[in-house]
Chains A and B, each alone.
Chain A
Amino acid sequence: MPAELLVKACDATHSNEVKDLRGCYKKGYVVVIKPDGWKWGKEELNKEKFYIVRVKDANPEDLQHLIQFHEINLGTRYHAVSDKLGVFVTSTDKDLAQSECLKKCRLVAQELSHFGITVNESDYNIKIEEEPELHTIARRRYKVDISGIEDGLKKGIIEVSAKDLKIIDQRQ
């Protein structure tokens, strides 16, 4: 039984890297997989939002892997901490974490000076801690390479065989 793929036709973006990678649908991501002849809604047929690809020789169950997620590592995270002043900064850049923490400590120290409390830089006692676990998120593993068939998709549903469906594995 053939299957129909609802494929995102444009990129959604977010300035936050985690949200962008994890949650924003990108062009080529398969949103849902339905059996052949599915009656799509009005917005699902909007070519500015979605394309529909009919896979003539695959069941929807055979294509479920296209909506799988995979874990990606966003790098080590560093925490710069000054227990004395209660300042905590996190960054994937170790030096940046330290420098930002120092900046914040100075601000706190400046505020404290108004109350007659003097804290010297040597007393900030900034410690750098490396996050023990990898900072990972789940992201769509596959997307469909529609570059070769996009003109056709803009006109309507395109039928392909499963072997001709160009799939990009985003792990590579």
Chain B
Amino acid sequence: MATENVKIVDPDNGTGTDYTSLSAWEAGEEKDLQQADEIAVAKCRCSSGSADTDPITIDGSWNPDATRYIKIWTDPSENYRHDGKWNDSKYRLVATATHLLRIYEAYTRIEGLQVYNTNTSTLAKDGIKVTPSNNSDEVTISHCIIRGNNPTGDAYGRGIYESQATLKAYNNIIYDWGQGTTEARGIYFYGVSTNAYIYNNTIHNCYYGLNRRHGTVVAKNNITQDCTDGFYGDFDGSSDYNVSDISGDAPGANSKTCTVSFVDEANDDFHLASSDTCAKDAGVDLSSDPNLAFNDDIDGETRSGSWDIGADEYVAAGGQVFSVTLQDSLSLSDSRGAMQDKVMAESLALSDRKRKELEKCFLASLSISDRKRKELEKHFLDSLSLSDTHFKSCLFHRLFTDLVTITDTAVKTLDKSLQDQLDISDKLVKTLSKIFTTSITLTDTFIAEIISGVVEKVFQDTLLLSDLKKIDLDKKITDMLLLSDMKRTDLDKRVADTLSLSDARRIDLDKRVRDILSLSDIKKLDLDKKLADTLPLSDTYIAQITGILTKVLVDSLILTDRSKKELFKSFFDTLPVEDTIKAQVIFTKLLTDTLLQLQDRRKKEIEKTIAESVALNDKFTKEELKILTDTLIQLSDNLNAQIVWAVVKVITAMFTDIKDPYGMKKDIKDPYGMKGS
């Protein structure tokens, strides 16, 4: 059987406080509960009414199971639990947070807390977020009041957010989680393949009251009021006995659409009013429910008879007595039914009045009781304080006197002891100095010896190692040489093989060269033959060209002769008669000599040109030969002209002293443009 490890959490640090915040409790108490075989219990108080203002996350090394679990609660037998309505003098967790109370651990039970997330931002925010690791991890939330701060716009507020857990939530009041958007929910079921049992909760003023998105959600005996959509999503078929103020909203055949009358809705008191006819006695008895059985309400009052729907079970003062009376009355005859009803109504009215009076008396008594208690506490504390002061004063005086006496004696003793110790200390210092000096000398020697010894040993070891290494290296070299010889032999063999192959290759190549040469000879013969065949053709060409040239030359000469004759005629016509014969003789002789001389030279040049032409013959096409021929003709013409001109010039030079009665010397024409050449 696991033991309960109960710690007191009290932000006011009252008597017996272990932690001043739940957050510190979580950090200080987290341990492997299975290993410790413990149930971790945080019993929450607020001895002076202060709120716990630190958000808390239950996570880490807890490792709980079904019998070694985590329990955070307010003990109803103490005076720190709310009374079914938000109460600022009772234990409460109040902060502006994303997740005010986040539960990552399975088997966590939250009971009787007031949780108020004051966050109004548009980001996500929850009162209690339940996200353990496995869908089977059970988390129970009961008897809690979970408030939002009426966030507007993109509210994203969730009173309880469930994911990856088996959530059991009952007897909770959840309100003001926002009407702004669809993200505002009283309880949101997000976990896929999870189970949730949501019984007897009252949810007020949220966009969605219960919003099932995933998982199996069984909703019974729940009230949703003033929500845009009270029950949103597909709930399990066993869901029933729910109430919504929206028609057709609450799931279950026995569910109702009606407006619940609360005691003071405007001030968030969601106890059922005596006048309520919607939720009262309209629920189902869940005291034997196989999944979640209980039989009380948010105030801890026992539910009986036909259960009320919602977190509160209406119990009128003396109501149960009247109930019995009613049963008895109902057993009377029908004829007395009307009388019974009347009596019943009067009784109820009386009962209500009585209850209110009693409540008033009770509250007054409580108020008196509280005042009295506070006065008594104050007296008690004052008494304690006075008592403590007096007692401490007497005791202190006596102790002080004793201490002074003792101290004087002790001081004297200590002085003497100190003097003795100083003397001893001086002697010791001197002795130690000597020992120290000697030690240093000895140490130096010793160190030198040690170093010498160590060095020598290291040297010897090194030599030994060196020898061993040398032997090893010799062996390796020998092995390598042996391997090298083998390798060399192998290489020689491979070279010989290669050479042998090379010879064969060379012979083969020689043969191939010879074959090629042989072919070359054949080719040469063939070419010679082709050349021989070509030569006659060449000769033919040469003959043709020579003939052409000869003809050209002859024609040129003929033309030249004609021009020459005309020239001479013009020239000689200008000469005086007596000079004409002389000039004709000289000119003829000169002309003849020059022509012969030039003809020889020209002939040689032409022959040379022809020879070159013959050599080039094979390379020229007929067109090229024609061009060549035309060029030669032109050259020949020019040459003849030059010759004639040269002769004229010579003659002109010779006859410089010859009279020129007709001014011909100056007007000698240059029909071939030779003056500038």
Contact = CB atoms under 8 A, between A and B. Distances in A.
B18 A42 contact: yes
A32 B23 contact: yes
Given A25-B30, A41-B10, A19 B24 contact: no
Interface stretch (B54-62, B114-122, B381-389): B54-62
Given A14-B61, A22-B59, A41 B20 contact: yes
Contacts of A13: 61
Contact of B27 (A22, A25, A34, A41): A25
A165 interface: no
A38 interface: yes
Interface in B503-526: none
Given A31-B23, A32-B23, A43 B28 contact: yes
A20 B60 CA distance: 6
B125 to A, nearest CB: 15
Contact of B24 (A22, A24, A32): A32
Contacts of B28: 31, 43-44, 46, 49-50
Q: How large is the interface on A (under 10, 10 to 19, 20 to 34, 35 or more residues)?
A: 20 to 34
Contact of A43 (B19, B59, B104): B19
Nearest to A50: B28
A44 to B, nearest CB: 6
Contacts of A38: 20
B13 interface: yes
A38 B12 CA distance: 10
A80 interface: no
Nearest to A30: B27
Contacts of B8: 41
B20 A44 contact: yes
A38 B10 CA distance: 12
A23 B104 contact: yes
B61 A32 contact: no
A6 B13 contact: no
Contact of A41 (B19, B30, B59): B19
A6, A19, A23 interface centre (most CB from chain B within 10 Å):
A23
Contacts of A115: none
B340 interface: no
A171 interface: no
B448 to A, nearest CB: 42
B60 A41 contact: no
Contacts of A32: 21, 23-24, 54
Interface in A32-56: 32, 34, 38-44, 46, 49-50
Interface of B: 7-10, 13, 17-21, 23-25, 27-31, 54, 57, 59-61, 63, 104
Interface of A: 6, 8, 12-14, 19-20, 22-25, 29, 31-32, 34, 38-44, 46, 49-50
10 contacts: A6-B24, A6-B27, A14-B60, A19-B59, A32-B21, A34-B20, A41-B10, A43-B29, A44-B20, A44-B24
